[in-house]
Structure 1
Amino acid sequence: MLRVALSRTLSSKDAITEGYYFSRLRDPDCRKMNRIALLTCLLTVSLMNQVSGLETVTGKYGDTIEIPCNNGRVGEAEVTFVKWKYDKDGNILVKNRDQNATVSNDVNYKNRVSIKKDFSLVITQVAMADQRTFTCMVVQKEDILEYSVQLAIYKVPSQPQITNLTTVMAIGKLTTLAQCHSEGANPAANITWFKNKAPLVADGTAIKITTNVAVDKETGLSTTTSTLEYTAVKGDIDAKFSCQVQHIKSANMDSSPLVFTVNYPTEKVSLQVVSQGPFKEGDNVTLKCTADGNPPPSSYNFYINGEKKTVDSSTYTLTSVTRENTAEYKCSLVDNEDIAASVPITVEYLDVVLSSTGKIVKKLGESLEMTVDVKASGATQTSWKKGNAKLNSLPKFDKLTYSDSGVYECVVSMASLKKTQTFELVVEDSPIIKNLIKERGEGMTKVLKCAAEGFPKPTVQWNVNGSNVESAYEHGKVTYSLTIVPKGNLTVSCTVSNVLGSDIKSINVSTLVEDVTMDKQDQKDEYSDQMKLAVGIVVGLMLAVLVIGLAFWLYMKKFRQGSWKTGEKEDGSAEESKKLEENQSQKADV
C-alpha cells in the first residue's frame, strides 16, 4: 500500500457550522426523532460544510493506494460513524462503531475498497477513473466533520519506439526520417529529438517536428507521437539521430541511435593505381576511379592511349604493359566528362645485348674482346662474374690461355629490374708436351712423367707397358706418370693427342745399376771440373792484382814527373829514387 500524508484546511465557516449543529440538537423536534432520523438530520446539515482547499494524494497506476482520513488524526474512541464517498453523490462504504464496514454496490469500488483501523480508505488496482475527489465524513458525538482529498494517478511511459523509419536522405531535400512514440503515460510524456547528442530545434523549414498526444478511451492513458522531418547536409554523413522520452515520474529514456544514408551528387573523382609499382614490361597494371558522390557511379570512362573506354566498373586493367604504355591516364564520369582525374604511369625497361653469347670457341693465343649494349629507362649497374669469382671489369683477352676458359655472366640491374647474359668461352689447341722426365721410384722402379697441355683433354700413349697414372686436368694441363722396371737400356716415348693434333717426346732409360755407375762417374767428373774451376779463379785473381799494381805504378810515375819545377834537376837524389822504387815494388807485390 502507498500512504501519503495529507492535511486539511477548514474555512472560517467551520465555527458557525459547529454552533448550528449544537443548536439543532437542542431543538425539541430533533430530540423526538429516533437515532436514525437524528443521523440523517446531522448528515444533511453537514453538507453545508464546504472545504475551501483540497490536499492531493498521488498514486501509481495499478498499485494499491491508501487515502488517510484527516491525515490519520481521527480518534477511534470518539467516532460513532464514518462514511467514505467520492465526488458529490458517489457512496463507497459506511462504518458504525463496533460494526464492520458496509461497502456500497457501486460497481467502481464494490470489490476494490476497504477501511483501516484509523479509518483510511484503501483502494486496489487504481486506474485513471480513480483520479477524483474522495471525502471522509466523520460523526463524533455531537460533531460532524468532513475531510476531502484529491487523488492523482500517474503512469510511467513505455520505452521510446521508432516507426516509419526511412533509410536514405538526400542533401537539400526535406525528408520524413522517423516517428518516435511512447505509450501508456499519465501525464503525457514529452519527446525530444537529438543529433549527435545535441537537441534538434524545429525551425519550420529545414527541421520540422510534429507532436501528437492521444488519450485511450478505456484506460485514460496518453500516447505521445513525435514525427521528425529533416533536411540533410553533407556533414550529416554518419550522424547519429535519436529520440528521448521525458516524464516527471521517470528518468529520461533514449532510443537506439539511427544512422541514415545520405545521398549527394558527385563533385570530384580521383584516379589511383591499385597495383604496386614500379612497373616493368610484362606487368599488369590496374587503375581505379572513385567518386565522392553517394551512391557512387556504377560506370566510368577510362581514356587508354587516347581512346575512351566506358566500363561498368570502377577499375580497368592494362595487361602485359610495354614501354609504349608509359603515358598519362584519365578517368571521368559517364554523364559529365568535365569531372575527371588523371595519373601518370611509367613502365620501366632494360635491354642487355652481348656482342657474343652462347658457346665461343677460340684458339690458344688468340685475342677476344666482348662488348655489352645496355638500353634502359634509368641508371644501371653492371657486374661480371666467371663462375663464382667476381670480375672487376668487362673481360678482354689479348692472348687467350687455357685458364681463360669458363662460363662468364654479365648482370645488369636497374631499380627492381635485372637482366643476365652469359657466354661460355672455350680455348682449344692441339696438345704439346711441355716436359718429359724420369725419376727413381721405389725399389728397382723408375717413374716417367710426361707433362702436356692442350684442349680438348689430350690422351696419352706410351711405347712400353707400365702402371699409368694421370693428374687432375686443370686449365688445359695434365701430367701422365708411368712406372716401369727397366731390364736394360731402352728409349721410352710419350705420345699425347686430341682431335686437333698430337705431340711426341722420347727419353732414354737404363737399369738401376747403370744409373749408379753413371752417377759415380758424374760425381768424379763434377769434382774434377770443380778443381779446374778453383785453379782458374786463383790465377785470374793474381793476374788482376798485377794489372792493378802496374797501372798504379804508371800513375804515380806520371804524377811525380808532372810535379817537377822549371830549372830544377830532372833526376832526384839517389836516395829518393831508391825509396820510390821500393814503394812501387811493394805495391806490385800486393
Structure 2
Amino acid sequence: MQSVICLFGAFIAAAVFHPGSCVETVIGLYGETIEVPCNNGTNKPDGLIFTKWKYVKDDGSPGDLLVKQAQKDEATVSATDGYKSRVSIAANSSLLIVQGSLADQRVFTCMVVSLTNLEEYSVEVKVHKKPSAPVIKNNAKELENGKLTQLGECVVENANPPADLIWMKNNQPLVDDGKTIIITSTITKDPVTGLSSTSSRLQYTARKEDVESQFTCTAKHVTGPDQVSEAETFPIHYPTEKVSLQVVSQSPIREGDDVTLKCQADGNPPPTSFSFNIKGKKVTVTDKDVYTLTGVTRADSGIYKCSLLDNDVMESTQFVTVSFLDVSLTPTGKVLKKLGENVTVSLEKNASSEAKVTWTKDNRKLDKLPDFSKLTYSDAGLYVCDVSIEGIKRSLSFELTVEGTPRITSLTKHRSNDGKHKVLTCEAEGSPKPDVQWSVNGTNDEMSYVRGKATFKLTVVPTKNLTVSCLVTNKHGDDAKEISVFSLFEEDTSKREKNEDGAEQAKVIVGVLVGLIVVAALVGLTYWLYIKKTRQGSWKTGEKEAGTSEESKKLEENNHKADV
C-alpha cells in the first residue's frame, strides 16, 4: 500500500512543501515493497537517453542507486550499500524497494535525460507500521472504594508513527482530571528497527458501582482501524454499610416446617461470619451466612435478628410468623337420630389468622348449615366442614342418619296407558327403608327410595270390585291404607267416564236430583187438589168466600207447608 501526495499551485492534498520545488510524498508499509513513482509515469520524453535514480544518504551526501538506458531492457544497479540487493526499476520507471523499513524514510530523486533536456523529480518516502493489538498489563488485584489506585498499564508495540492510547470505561473515554483519574503515557523507540511502542498507565478512583464496570484500552493509528483490548473487570473493596436478614423458607411457615434465616451484608469482600439473635438467644455462625430452625411450632413466632460478628450495632430484623390451625367439631362420625329429634352442631377453631369455613352435604356446597332443631328425613346425609387459612386446611365430618316409623303419605290408582291394567301407587316416608305388602297379588313395577321417601307401584288386573290395602313396615313400626278398585269388566259394560271416582259421584248426584224433582211434583199436585176442592165447596152452597181471621191464618200455614 502506498500513497502519493504533491503540492501543485492552489491544489493541496496533505502535501509536504519544499520551497522552489514540488516534492511528492509516498507512504509505504513496513516490510512490504515500496513503489516510488518517477513524475507519476510521465517520464519518457522524445530522445530519451537514460533514467537514473539517486538518493540522499544519512550523512547528506548523494548516492546512486541504478541507471536504465533507454535502448536496454535491464537497469544497471550502481548502489554499493544495503540498497544493492533491494532496488529495481519498473516498466513505468518507478523505483521499487523491497522489504521496506524505517531506514527508507528519505528523499529519492528520479533524473530523466534526453537529447534536449534533463529533468529531476524528487519524492519523499515515509514508512508506516500498524501497531500490535493493545494489551492491559500489570492489572490491579482489586480496587478500593474511594482510593486512587493504579488500575493497569496499556501497551502497544512496533508502530510507526507512534500510536495513541485511550482508556475507556463501559465504552466511554476516561479523561485525566489530575485527581480521581490520572493517565500517564510514554513512547519508546526500538534502537534497531526504529519502531515505537506506546504505554499508558491509568490511576483510577473506584466507586462501589464500578464492581460491574468494564475497562478497555483503544489504540488509534493512521493505518486504522482502531484496535480495542480485552475488557477487564476489577473487584471493588468497600466496608459493610448495610446488613439484611431474609427468611428463605417457603411461605407460609407452618408448624413442623424447617425455617432458614439468611444474613447478608453489602461489604466487599462480604463478611463470612455472623451473629443470629434467636428470640433473645445469641448464636454465632462461622464461614456461612445461614441458620436453620428445625420443626418450628407456634411458640417460635417472634422477632429474629442478625448482625456482623464484630459489630452488633449493624443489624437487621425480621418477624417470623408460624401459621397454625386447630379445629374441633361436635358431633363427628356416624350420628343416629329419630324423626323430630334435634342435633346441636358445634365448631371450635383456633388459628393464626382469620379462618374460612365451608360446609358441604353429600358433595354439594351449602350456603349455611341447616336448622337441626326438628329433624326430618331430608336432613340425613354426609356433612363435611372445611376450615382453612393460607397454606393449611382441615376437614371434619359427621354422617347423620334420621330414622322413624313409616307413614303412608299417599295411595292412588290410575288406569294404564293401554287401558288393560290398574296401577296403584303407595308413597310413604320412613327410615330405615320400609318394606311394602299389598293385600292383592300383582306385578311390582317400580320402587324408589330417596332421602327417606319411598315409592311403591303395583300393577293389577281386577276382575271384580276390590278393596286393596298397602302396608309399609320397618323396625320402628308400620302403617297401612286402603283404596277401592273397580273391576275392569264392570266399567266396560257401563258408560266410561274419564275416571272411576267421577262416574260414582255422577250417579249419586243424578239420584238426588231425580228424588227432589219427584217430591216437588207431588207437593205441588197435592196443593192444587186441595185448593180446587175447597173452592168447589163454596160454590155449591152459594156462600160467600169468607172466614174468620183464624181460619185464614191456618189456611196460609197449610199452604206454606204444602210449598215446602
In the alignment, what sits opposite 2:542? none
Aligned-residue offset at 1:85: 5.0
Note closer, same or farther for the CA distance 1:98–1:284 as it changes in structure 2 (3 Å cut): same
Q: Distance in 1 between matches of 2:308 and 2:163?
A: 51
Task: Check whether the contact 2:66–2:79 (CA below 8 A) recurs between aligned residues.
Answer: no
How much does 1:137 deviate?
8.0
Q: Distance in 2 between matches of 1:432 and 1:423?
A: 27
Checking the alignment, whether the CA contact within 8 Å between 1:409 and 1:420 is kept in structure 2 is yes
- Written as runs of structure 1 = structure 2, the 5 A alignment for 1:5-154 is 57-60=25-28, 61=30, 62-66=32-36, 68=38, 84-87=54-57, 88=61, 90-93=63-66, 102-104=76-78, 106-114=80-88, 122-132=96-106, 151-154=125-128
Q: What is the rounded CA distance, in whole Å, between the counterparts of 1:105 and 1:535 in structure 2?
A: 175
Higher helix proportion = 1
Within the candidate set 152, 159, 180, 1:178 is matched to: 152
| Cα gap change, 1:435 to 1:122, in 2 (>3 Å) | closer
Moved more, 434-443 or 424-433: 434-443
Q: How far apart in 1 are the matches of 2:211 and 2:468? A: 105
The counterpart of 1:218, out of the listed 172, 192, 216, is 192
Q: Name the CA distance, whole Å, in 2 between partners of 1:471 and 1:97.
A: 136
CA distance in 2, matches of 1:96, 1:493: 154
What's the CA shift for 1:327?
A: 1.9
After TM superposition, the structure 1 = structure 2 runs for residues 171-250 of structure 1, keeping only pairs within 5 Å, are 171-172=145-146, 175-202=149-176, 207-248=181-222, 250=224
Equivalent residue, structure 1, for 2:239:
265
Measured against aligned partners, the alpha-carbon deviations of 1:259-301 in whole angstroms (never above 9, x if no partner) come to 3332323221223344564555566655443322234344544
CA distance in 2: counterparts of 1:200 and 1:510, whole angstroms: 116
Name the counterpart of 2:314.
Answer: 339
Q: Which residue is 2:433 aligned to?
A: 457
CA contact (8 A) 2:214 2:232 kept: yes
Correspondence for 1:329: 304
Output the amino acid matched with 2:299: E
Q: Give the direction of change, closer, same or farther, for the CA distance of 1:471–1:530 in structure 2 (3 Å limit).
A: farther
Q: CA deviation at 1:245?
A: 2.1
Q: Does structure 1 conserve the Cα–Cα contact (< 8 Å) formed by 2:135 and 2:230?
A: no
Query: 1:218 & 1:252 partners in 2: Cα distance?
Result: 26
* Separation of aligned partners in 1, 2:56 and 2:514: 170
Q: CA RMSD in A?
A: 5.4
Q: Which residue of 2 aligns with 1:473?
A: 449
String of CA shifts for 1:167-217, please: whole Å, max 9, x gaps. Answer: 643334554433322222223223232334444455677545444433334
3-state SS of the aligned residue for 1:293? coil
Give the alignment partner of residue 427 of structure 1, picking from 402, 409, 413: 402
Cα distance in 2 for residues equivalent to 1:389 and 1:154 = 93
Same amino acid, percent of matched pairs: 43
CA distance, structure 1, for counterparts of residue 324 and residue 254 of structure 2: 6
TM-score with structure 1 setting the length: 0.65
- Any idea what the Cα deviations from partners look like across 1:278-326, whole Å, max 9, x if unmatched? 5555666554433222343445444444444427544555566543333
Indicate how the Cα distance of structure 1 residues 453 and 535 shifts in structure 2: closer, same or farther if over 3 A, else same. Answer: farther
CA contact (8 A) 1:86 1:92 kept: no
TM-score (norm 2): 0.68
- Which deviates more, 237-246 or 113-122? 113-122
Relative to structure 1, the CA distance from residue 366 to residue 2 in structure 2 (aligned partners, 3 Å threshold; closer, same or farther) is closer
Which region of structure 1 is more displaced relative to structure 2, 198-207 or 124-133?
Answer: 198-207
Alpha-carbon distance in structure 1 between the residues aligned to 2:474 and 2:315: 75
**SS of the residue aligned with 1:353?**
strand
1:398 aligns with 2:368: no
CA contact (8 A) 1:65 1:126 kept: no
CA distance in structure 1 between the aligned counterparts of 2:517 and 2:382, rounded to whole angstroms: 59
Indicate conservation of the 8 Å contact 1:196/1:240, yes or no. Answer: yes
Question: Deviations 1:337-395 (Å, cap 9, x if unpaired)?
Answer: 33221222334444433221221111222222323223334444544443355555443
2:37 touches 2:93 (CA, 8 Å); kept in 1?
no
| Aligned equivalents of 1:70, 1:388: Cα separation in 2 | 105
Q: Relative to structure 2, which stretch is displaced further, 485-494 or 429-438?
A: 485-494
- Counterpart Cα distance in 2 of 1:525 and 1:134: 156
- 1:472 partner amino acid: S
Hey, what does 2:535 align to over in structure 1?
A: none
Go from structure 1 to structure 2 and tell me whether the alpha carbon gap of 1:246 and 1:531 turns closer, same or farther (over 3 Å shift). same
Mind listing any 5+ residue stretches in structure 1 that lack a counterpart? Answer: 9-50, 538-577
Indicate the SS of the match to 1:397.
coil
1:401, distance to aligned residue in structure 2 (A): 2.2
Change (3 A) 1:364 1:209: same
Q: Contact 2:406–2:429 (CA<8 Å) still a contact in 1?
A: yes
SS at match of 1:59: strand
Within a 5 Å distance, the mapping from 1:358-437 to structure 2 comes to: 358-387=333-362, 391-414=366-389, 418-431=393-406
Deviations 1:77-102 (A, max 9, x none): 59899673532274434678877754
CA–CA separation in structure 2 for the residues paired with 1:396 and 1:428:
17
Q: Does the aligned pair in 2 maintain the 1:58–1:154 contact within 8 Å?
A: no
Answer yes or no: is the 8 Å Cα contact 1:428–1:455 preserved in 2.
yes
* Structure-2 change in CA distance of 1:530 and 1:435 (3 Å): farther
Alpha carbons of structure 1 residues 128 and 489: separation in structure 2 relative to 1, 3 Å? closer
Higher alpha-carbon deviation: 236-245 or 294-303: 294-303
Say which is worse superposed, 164-173 or 66-75, in terms of deviation: 66-75
The Cα offsets for residues 490-542 of structure 1, whole Å up to 9 and x where unpaired, read as 99876544344x3365869999599999x9999988877778899999xxxxx
* Structure 1 CA distance for aligned equivalents of residues 485 and 88 of structure 2: 155
**Higher mean Cα deviation, 481-490 or 193-202?**
481-490
Closer, same or farther in 2 for the Cα pair 1:173/1:201, shift >3 Å?
Answer: same
Q: Which residue of 2 aligns with 1:253?
A: 227
Query: What SS does the aligned partner of 1:108 have?
Result: coil
3-state SS of 1:373 partner: strand
3-state SS of 1:369 partner: coil
- Counterpart in the other structure of 2:263: 289
User: Which structure 2 segments of 5+ residues have no match?
Assistant: 9-18, 495-500, 521-548
Q: Secondary structure at the match of 1:125?
A: coil
State which drifts further: 137-146 or 213-222. 137-146
